[in-house]
């Protein structure tokens, strides 16, 4: 089998997890990451090209004769990185600009779901404030307000009443509160239920469904405090029962993939389906066109097949999903953050990490906001490390992750102590 020269684009925990999984592949010839982080730099070659500098990435991939480029984040994809590379004959894991619209424009995504009958909150798109105000004031349901464009997970406002909803719409449409991303907004019904993330590796109409996972957005224990990029996750999340997953396959994934094909979109990459499990069935909260972060970090350890082979098959349009093996184990990740996050925080603190010999098989220390400087690993972001444990049980996976967290330290480090609390409460109730 031909060995592959692989370029991973991105610099977070998600990309470190991808790098770790790819390094195990028997298909790998060389792995490079642009730009990577401190942990990635210890495992493979890194080049200082930013993920958003798509022409420099494409140049580098072309000159280096790379066979496969994997984009971790959505921004390069929405800028057209995959289109440029494909035009050069380089295989890409990640959709073209047209497919990336599912994440880059919530208005596009809303229209798409309406057109193809994909269950989601009822709602409408607006560019005109007066029209939005009228709709908000007259709608029979409570609403949420979303900036249509990319907003790094911050573009959704859940107002406590209609007046606050109107204000949020005004700030986006008239006040420029989210810049270009808020020039169009989606006003939609507030849904009730528990959320889960369903990550698919999509190749046209075939796909691999990875185990359902659940993220923890709020900074504090008990889901308190401000929203973050994600403080921890676990998989599989039992709230997405087999019946829920069957509903998702038949009523969400099938019309979505058929809709993409009908629009002439040859989708090859991750489709992240954020769902709300409501009393009327699963409904789409959002689509993303990349792996979740930190969800990716608990999914990669659960793929038993050669991850690089699956990514490459998707990129080449020859995925056979029946061949992909997923583990029956559990995985959990605890994100270790810098003091002050998600507000302002310090950078440049040295991180003390255990030796590899102190890390049990199946556990990983993933780097997110770190840099390697003169042989030392320093903090460089708000979410600094992701500590992953796996086991035959969820409790075991959490125990392994939390045990390993204690072996890491840096000034001001903190983490949530209650990852998977909903699931643990469910388990306790059922005993
Ligand atoms: P999004 O960026 O669309 O995923 O939204 C971020 C978060 O806002 C979601 O994870 C939900 O917790 C919440 N959210 C978004 N849309 C709705 C909705 N229609 N009803 C209730 N909560 C929502
Ligand atoms: N963890 C949520 C996301 O990646 O969007």
**How confident is the model over 260-273, as pLDDT tens digits?**
999 999 999 999 99
Average pLDDT over residues 369-385: 96
CA dihedral angle for residue 403, residue 407, residue 410, residue 411, rounded to 10 degrees: 70
Cα-to-centroid distance, 14 and ligand 1 (Å): 21
pLDDT at 306 over 80: yes
pLDDT-based confidence at 38, cuts 50/70/90?
Answer: very high
Q: Which atom of ligand 2 is nearest to the CA of 215?
A: 1
List C-alpha distances in Å: 136 to 163, 167, 299.
9, 11, 39
Q: Is the CB of 286 under 6 A from ligand 1?
A: yes
| Binding site membership of 142 for ligand 1 (Cβ less than 6 Å) | no
Instruction: Point out the ligand 1 atom lying closest to the alpha carbon of residue 188.
Output: 19
Cα–ligand 1 centroid distance for 144 (angstroms):
8
What pLDDT does residue 344 have? 94
pLDDT at 200: 98
Across the strands, what pairs with 377? 372
- What per-residue confidence (pLDDT) applies to 257? 98
Ligand number nearest to the C-alpha of 215: 2
Ligand 2 centroid–CA 357 distance in Å is 31
Ligand found nearest the CA of 148: 1
pLDDT of residue 429: 87
Give 209 Cα–ligand 1 centroid separation in angstroms.
22
Residue to probe by mutation, ligand 1, list 226, 285, 287, 292, most atoms within 8 Å of CB: 285
Mean pLDDT of 315-343: 96
Residue 229 has pLDDT above 90, yes or no: no
Angle between helix 254-262 and helix 106-115 axes, rounded to 10 deg: 100
400 Cα: distance to centroid of ligand 1 (angstroms):
31
198-220: average pLDDT = 96
Mutate to test the pocket of ligand 2, among 155, 197, 284, 296 (most ligand atoms within 8 A of CB): 197
The CA-CA-CA angle for residues 95, 98, 99, to 5°, reads 40
Asked if residue 153 has pLDDT above 80, the reply is no
Contact 83/11 with Cβ under 8 angstroms?
no
Please choose from 107, 144, 172 the residue to mutate so as to test ligand 1's pocket, defined by most ligand atoms within 8 A of CB: 144
State the Cα–Cα distance between residues 331 and 409, nearest whole angstrom. Answer: 22
Ligand 1 atom closest to residue 120's alpha carbon, by position in its atom list:
19
Q: pLDDT-based confidence at 386, cuts 50/70/90? A: very high
Q: 288: CA distance to ligand 2 center in Å? A: 8
* Measured distance CA(129)–CA(138) in Å, rounded: 14
Q: Is 151 in the pocket of ligand 1 (CB under 6 A)?
A: no
Taking CA atoms only, the protein residue closest to ligand 1 atom 15 is: 285
Given the CA of residue 230, which atom of ligand 2 is nearest to it? 1
pLDDT above 80 (res 1):
no
Fold of 128-183: Dna Ligase; domain 1 (3.30.1490)
How far away, in angstroms, is 229 Cα from ligand 2 center? Answer: 6
Q: Which atom of ligand 1 is nearest to the CA of 106?
A: 3
pLDDT in tens, 159-186: 999 999 998 999 898 988 888 888 999 9
Number of Cα atoms under 13 Å in the Cβ half of residue 420: 29
Q: Which atom of ligand 1 is nearest to the CA of 153?
A: 2
Which residues have CB under 8 Å from 59's CB, separation 6+? none
| Cα angle: 333, vertex 334, 336; to 5 degrees | 140
Binned at pLDDT 50, 70 and 90, residue 189 comes out as very high
Distance CA 361, CA 199 (A): 25
Cβ–ligand 1 contact at 191 (below 6 Å): yes
- Domain 4-96: assigned CATH number: 3.40.50.20
Residue 274 Cβ contacting ligand 1 at under 6 Å: yes
Q: What residues does CATH 3.40.50.20 cover in the chain?
A: 4-96
Q: Rounded CA gap, 24 and 19, in Å?
A: 9
Instruction: Kindly state the average pLDDT of the residues 86-102.
Output: 97
The reply to whether ligand 1 has any atom less than 6 angstroms from the CB of 153 is: yes
Region 100-121 average pLDDT: 97
CA distance 36 to 43: 10
Facing residues of 218 across strands?
A: 227
| Ligand 1 nearest atom to the CA of residue 192, by list position | 21
Q: What is the pLDDT of residues 200-210, one digit of tens each?
A: 999 999 999 99
Residue whose Cα lies nearest atom 2 of ligand 2: it is 292
* Range(s) of the chain covered by CATH 3.30.1490.20: 128-183
* Buried b or exposed e, range 386-419, using 16+ CB within 10 angstroms: bbbbbbeebebbbebbbebbeebebeebebbebb
The protein residue whose alpha carbon is closest to atom 3 in ligand 2 is 292
């Amino acid at each position: 089998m031909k060995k592959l020269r692989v370029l991973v684009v991105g610099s977070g925990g998600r990309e470190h997890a991808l790098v770790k999984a790819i390094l195990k592949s028997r298909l790998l010839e060389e792995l490079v990451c642009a730009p990577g982080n401190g942990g990635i730099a210890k495992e493979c070659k890194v080049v200082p090209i930013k993920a958003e500098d798509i022409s420099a990435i494409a140049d580098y991939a072309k000159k280096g004769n790379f066979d496969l480029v994997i984009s971790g984040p959505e921004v390069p994809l929405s800028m057209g990185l995959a289109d440029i590379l494909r035009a050069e004959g380089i295989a890409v894991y990640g959709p073209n600009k047209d497919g990336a619209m599912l994440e880059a424009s919530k208005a596009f995504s809303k229209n798409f779901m309406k057109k193809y009958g994909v269950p989601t909150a009822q709602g409408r798109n607006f560019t005109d404030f007066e029209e939005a105000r009228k709709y908000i004031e007259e709608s029979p349901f409570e609403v949420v307000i979303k900036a249509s464009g990319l907003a790094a997970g911050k573009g959704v406002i859940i107002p406590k009443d209609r007046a606050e909803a109107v204000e949020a719409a005004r700030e986006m449409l008239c006040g420029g509160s989210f810049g270009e991303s808020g020039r169009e907004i989606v006003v939609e019904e507030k849904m009730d239920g528990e959320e889960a993330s369903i990550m698919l590796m999509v190749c046209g109409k075939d796909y691999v469904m990875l185990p359902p996972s659940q993220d923890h957005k709020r900074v504090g224990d008990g889901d308190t405090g401000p929203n973050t990029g994600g403080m921890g996750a676990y998989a599989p999340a039992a709230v997405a029962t087999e019946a829920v997953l069957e509903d998702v396959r038949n009523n969400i994934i099938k019309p979505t993939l058929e809709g993409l094909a009908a629009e002439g979109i040859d989708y090859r990459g991750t489709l992240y389906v954020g769902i709300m499990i409501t009393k009327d069935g699963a409904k789409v909260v959002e689509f993303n066109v990349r792996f979740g972060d930190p969800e990716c970090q608990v999914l990669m350890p659960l793929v038993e097949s050669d991850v690089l082979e699956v990514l490459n098959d998707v990129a080449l349009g020859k995925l056979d999903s029946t061949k992909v093996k997923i583990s029956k184990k559990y995985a959990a990740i605890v994100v270790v953050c810098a003091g002050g996050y998600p507000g302002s925080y310090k950078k440049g603190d040295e991180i003390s990490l255990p030796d590899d010999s102190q890390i049990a098989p199946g556990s990983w220390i993933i780097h997110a906001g770190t840099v390697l400087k003169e042989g030392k690993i320093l903090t460089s972001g708000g979410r600094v490390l992701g500590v992953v444990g796996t086991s035959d049980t969820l409790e075991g996976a959490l125990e392994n992750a939390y045990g390993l967290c204690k072996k890491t330290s840096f000034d001001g480090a903190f983490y949530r102590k209650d990852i998977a609390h909903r699931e643990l409460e469910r388990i306790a109730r059922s005993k």
